[in-house]
């Protein structure tokens, strides 16, 4: 696999979707959760989507329940929560695993292309790192993603150009998106 366009995933209704359908667009691929401390990221994500979608930008949202059971609902419950609370309009896909033997191959690819480089400095980030390490011990070398709201930036050719941990400032994420648009 060379680009994200080589992957097929399932939408929230379990229909197969080729990521080649997004060819030529800038993508931000995110694993999300509705009950996470980072769930408010939906607000700047939706704002970014609203402002930039006409320039060839898409956000692909993949709910995941592997981090402290913070996305317990089914696809429709999660979708209803996101649209009612945050007004999200960007595509939301089927709930997936991002770590372990059952990890969605797309996320294993993304994390291999841009491995985890840390949550950053500070007490809060150090605490998240310890908690994430405890949670991800069970996945061993297949702990690809450390926490909810990890974001991968994909250029118009389908190449992974950046990884943003959930602790990254959303303004910095937006600037990176705007730069490659």
How far apart are the C-alpha atoms of 163 and 15, rounded to whole Å?
27
pTM attached to this predicted model? 0.93
Q: Which domains, ranges and CATH numbers included, belong to the chain?
A: 4-180 (3.40.30.10)
Share of the chain above pLDDT 70, in %: 99
Q: Which band of pLDDT confidence, cut at 50, 70 and 90, is reported for residue 1? A: low
Share the mean pLDDT of the chain: 92
DSSP bridge pairs for 95? none
Q: Does residue 69 surpass a pLDDT of 70? A: yes
Share of the chain above pLDDT 90, in %: 70
> What is the tens place of the pLDDT at every residue in 131-141?
778 778 888 88
Q: Does residue 118 surpass a pLDDT of 90? A: no
Query: Which residues belong to the active site?
Result: 36
3 state SS for 59-112 = EEEEEECCCCCCCCCCHHHHHHHHHHHHCCCCCEECCEECCCCCECHHHHHHHH
């Amino acid at each position: 696999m060379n680009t994200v366009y080589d992957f097929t995933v399932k939408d929230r209704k379990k229909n197969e979707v080729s990521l080649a359908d997004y060819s030529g667009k800038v993508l931000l691929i995110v694993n999300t959760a509705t009950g996470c401390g980072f769930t408010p990221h939906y607000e700047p994500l939706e704002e970014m989507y609203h402002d930039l979608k006409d320039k060839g930008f898409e956000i692909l949202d993949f709910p995941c329940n592997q981090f402290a059971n913070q996305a317990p609902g089914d696809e429709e419950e999660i979708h209803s929560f996101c649209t009612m609370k945050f007004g999200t309009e960007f595509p939301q896909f089927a709930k997936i695993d991002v770590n372990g033997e059952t990890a969605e191959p797309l996320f294993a690819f993304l994390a291999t292309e841009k491995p985890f480089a840390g949550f950053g400095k500070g007490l809060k980030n150090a605490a998240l790192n310890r908690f994430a390490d405890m949670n991800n011990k069970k996945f061993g070398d297949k702990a690809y993603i450390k926490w909810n709201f990890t974001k991968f930036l994909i250029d118009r050719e389908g190449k992974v150009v950046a990884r943003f941990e959930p602790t990254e400032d959303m303004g910095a994420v937006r600037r990176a998106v705007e730069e490659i648009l």
